[in-house]
Amino acid sequence: MAERAKVERRKIGPSPKAVEERAEEQIHAHVEEEVDQLSGSISLLRLVCVQLVCGAAVLLGLWIVPYWMGGLSIVFQPVETLRICVATAFPIVSFSFSMLRLQPDICPVWWAAFRGFLGLPIGILVASFLATVFGAPLSYESAIRTLHWGALVSTLTVVPVAAIAGGSWPIWHRLFAATKPNGALELALCLPAHGAAIGSWVGAWPMPLDWGRPWQEWPVCCTYGAVGGYLLSVLVSLFWNAINVRHSTKEARRKAK
């Protein structure tokens, strides 16, 4: 994940140094403001809703919508299914996370969604590069599959961050390179993204086994792994945030007393 963020950063930011620094400082200030805001319970509720909606969208897109559209399944028609899944999940993820964008006063919703849209192809490129490097086959058909799988993973990992933070390097660095999420929102971004990446990594292990099952084909089990890891870590981040909020509100009350 880290390297995805890294490479992406590299591609986005060719602007002059001084301007960049100033912009970053501004963003930095805004992030801190936002984080302060997020400790309030209203935006946390929004965050929970957004996460649940995204999780549901992925589930829907991977299993239910393809089934409606002529009984497709990820095992036998991976490309079509993944395409439908991305088509379903991407708009939902992109728009719902755009609601949580930083600096809502200067950045309209459509701009945040557009940033998410920009993030998608970059994420696809990075994810596909990594998948290929890890051993995804190189034939034309397999490359198509890899790109589709990359689109799904990109939707789960890069798009939310791109929609919320745009090209702010400190946030990308904190989320993906240092893995030190700061506050509930960043945790909700960082944990599922890592979950999806680690999930796909784990999902690749059964592939060399000689069981001859259709789901051992690339990219089926990696997709299972990615989605499984994503959903699991969404749940974990929800719980984590809930516990933290309760803890902090208690402390706040104690302080108030």
Partner 1 sequence: MASVFLKFATLGSLALLVQMVGLVLFVLGFFPVKPTLDGNSGPESFSPACEFDSSQKVDEPVDTYGDDSRVESVGFPAKYDRLVFMVIDGLPAEFVLGRDGKPPARDLQLAMPYTQNLLATGSALGYHAKAAPPTVTMPRLKAMTSGAIAGFLDVAYNFNTKELLEDNLIDQLARAGWQMVMLGDETWLKLFPNRFHRLDGVNSFYVKDTVEVDNNVTRHLDVELEKDDWKLLVLHYLGLDHVGHIGGRSSPLMVSKLREMDTIITRIHQTVLSRDPQSLLVVVSDHGMTDGGNHGGATYQETDALALFISKSSSDLKLGAAPEASPNSRPSDNEAYQVDLVPTLALLLGVPIPKNSVGALLPPLFSSLTPKLQLRALELNSWQLLRIMRKRSPRSRCISDMCGEVELINVNQSASSSESGDDADKFCRRLNLALVKHNYWAQNGEKTRDFEEAKEAYLHFLQPTSVWLARGSTQKLFGLVVTGASLLLISTVLFLTGVFQLSKKTSGSFSSQSGRSIQAASPLLKLVAIGEVCLHSASFGSSSFVEEEQFTWHFMLSTLFVVLLRDSCQQFNPGNKLRIVGSGSSNRVPAGRHKTIESQSGGQFQATTSKRTVKEVLQICLLLTFARTLRSWHRSGVNWAHLPDVAKTLENSHPAVTACIRAACLLIITMLCRWLVPKSLPRFVRRVTKACLTLTAVLIYIYYTCDFLRAAAISEAWRIEPWATISAQGIYLLLGATFLSAFTLFPWLIICNSGTESPSRFQEKEGAFYVMSLQEEPGTEFFLENGVRRSMDAVGTVFVSCWCLLQLLLQQPVNAAPLTILLLQLLLTVTLFRTAQGSFPRWTSVLTLHWLGASGHFGLGNSNTLATVDVAGAYIGLSSHSTLLSGTLAFFITYGSPLLYMQGLLLSVHQKKLETRKDDLELRQRWLMEDLLLPCYLPLAMNSVVLTVFTGVLYLMQDHLFIWSVFSPKYLYVVATTICTYLGTLIFAAVGGYSFMVISKRMQRTKKGNKAETTKLE
Among 134, 213, 214, 243, binds partner 1 (CB under 8 A): 134
> Considering only residues 59-118, where is the footprint of partner 1 by CB under 8 A?
none
Distance CA 237, CA 240 (A): 5
Using CA atoms, how far residue 68 sits from 19, 72, 221, in Å, is 50, 8, 22
Does 33 interact with partner 1 (rule: CB under 8 A)? no
Q: For residue 71, is it left (φ>0), alpha (ψ between -120 and 50) or beta? A: left
Taking the mean position of all CA atoms in its chain, how far away is CA 227? 11
Nearer to partner 1, 70 or 208 (CB): 208
Does 133 interact with partner 1 (rule: CB under 8 A)? yes
Nearer to partner 1, 1 or 57 (CB): 1
Does 14 interact with partner 1 (rule: CB under 8 A)? no
Count residues binding partner 1 (CB under 8 A). 32
Does 35 interact with partner 1 (rule: CB under 8 A)? no
Among 9, 239, 224, CA closest to 126: 9
Among 16, 19, 141, 210, binds partner 1 (CB under 8 A): 210
Nearer to partner 1, 32 or 36 (CB): 32
Q: Which range in 40-48, 95-103, 204-212, 244-252 contacts partner 1 by CB under 8 A?
A: 204-212
Distance CA 191, CA 189 (A): 6
Nearer to partner 1, 21 or 36 (CB): 21
Q: Which range in 4-12, 42-50, 53-61, 158-166 contacts partner 1 by CB under 8 A?
A: 4-12
Contacts of 109 (CB under 8 A, 6+ apart): 95, 98, 99, 101
Among 5, 65, 124, 234, binds partner 1 (CB under 8 A): 5
Using CA atoms, how far residue 198 sits from 42, 127, 230, 233, in Å, is 31, 13, 9, 10
Q: Which range in 6-14, 93-101, 184-192, 227-235 contacts partner 1 by CB under 8 A?
A: 6-14
Does 21 interact with partner 1 (rule: CB under 8 A)? yes
- Which residues of the shown chain bind partner 1 in the complex (CB under 8 A)? 1-3, 5-7, 10, 17, 21, 24, 28, 129-130, 132-135, 138, 169-170, 173, 176-178, 201, 204-205, 207-211
